[in-house]
Structure 1
Amino acid sequence: MLRQVLHEGLQTSFHKLGHFVANHPVFFASAPVLLSVLLGASFSRYRVEEDVEYLLAPKHSLAKIEGNLVDSLFAVNRSKHTLYSDLQTPGRYGRVIVTSRRGNVLDATHVDLVLKVRSKL
């Protein structure tokens, strides 16, 4: 009994829905396209952010103010032959820790070895 009532109710509602869609074909053909265009238009406002500081610190934070002060006082030479110690700028970096088994790392022989490795990079 419940199954028959449910079946009749669904059949009637889908029949009315089918007639409504058939009587308004332009709306049901254009509405999905229009909705997709409107929702897809918001993607044009997205942009890729490359500045790591912008992603990690608020605009008027003390860290940004201090960073701008340091950049203005101590300009960094960003040529391709410069060793970078700042990993927050765009690019690929690597660090090497040089140690010596015997003697001082700043001895002439050790410095020559470091410079030789540096010149091969």
Structure 2
Amino acid sequence: MLRQVLHEGLRTSFHKLGHFVANHPVFFASAPVLISILLGASFSRYRIEENVEYLLAPKHSLAKIEGNLVDSLFPVNRSKHTLYSDLQTPGRYGRVIVTSRRGSVLDPHHVNSVLKVSNISLE
């Protein structure tokens, strides 16, 4: 009994819905297209960020300022066409990692120490 009542109710409601859709074909043909365009338009504002630094550090953080300073003072040749052997000339090379216990490495006292070590190593 309940099954027959549900069946009849669903059949009449879908029959009325079918007549409504048939009487308004332009709306039901254009509405999905318009909704797709509106939802797809938001994807044009997305951009893929390749540099993780921009995602993790604040825009005007000290780390970014110091990173830009290091990049400007010590440029790295990232050309794909340059061989590693072209960058090295014959001789002995070493690397020095400079850190400070307190303050910034860019403080004048530390900078003078780094320049002294650099001058000594060049001689």
- TM-score, with structure 2 as normaliser: 0.56
**2:88 maps to which residue?**
none
Q: Measure the CA separation in 1 of the matches of 2:32 and 2:55.
A: 35
Q: Could you say which residue in structure 2 is the equivalent of 1:67?
A: 67
Task: Describe the superposition over 1:27-64 as per-residue Cα deviations: whole angstroms up to 9, x where unpaired.
Answer: 00111111112222222222222223112222122321
Return 5+ residue gaps in structure 2 as ranges.
Answer: 85-90, 93-123
Distance in 2 of aligned mates of 1:30 and 1:42: 19
Instruction: For 1:64 and 1:51, locate their aligned partners in 2 and report how far apart those are by CA, in whole Å.
Output: 12
Q: Does residue 15 of structure 2 align to residue 15 of structure 1? A: yes
Aligned residues: 84
Higher relative contact order structure (alpha carbons within 8 Å, sequence separation ≥ 6): 1
Deviating beyond 6 angstroms after TM superposition, the runs of 4 or more aligned structure 1 residues are none
Cα offset for 1:12?
1.4
Identity in percent:
80
CA–CA distance in 2 between the matches of 1:77 and 1:66?
A: 16
Cα distance change, pair 79–43 in 1 and its aligned pair in 2 (3 A): closer
Using a 3 Å threshold, how does the CA distance of structure 1 residues 79 and 28 change in structure 2: closer, same or farther?
Answer: closer
Distance 2:75 2:50 in 1: 19
SS in 1 for 2:40: helix
Letter in 2 for 1:33: V
Instruction: Report the AA paired with residue 29 of structure 1.
Output: A
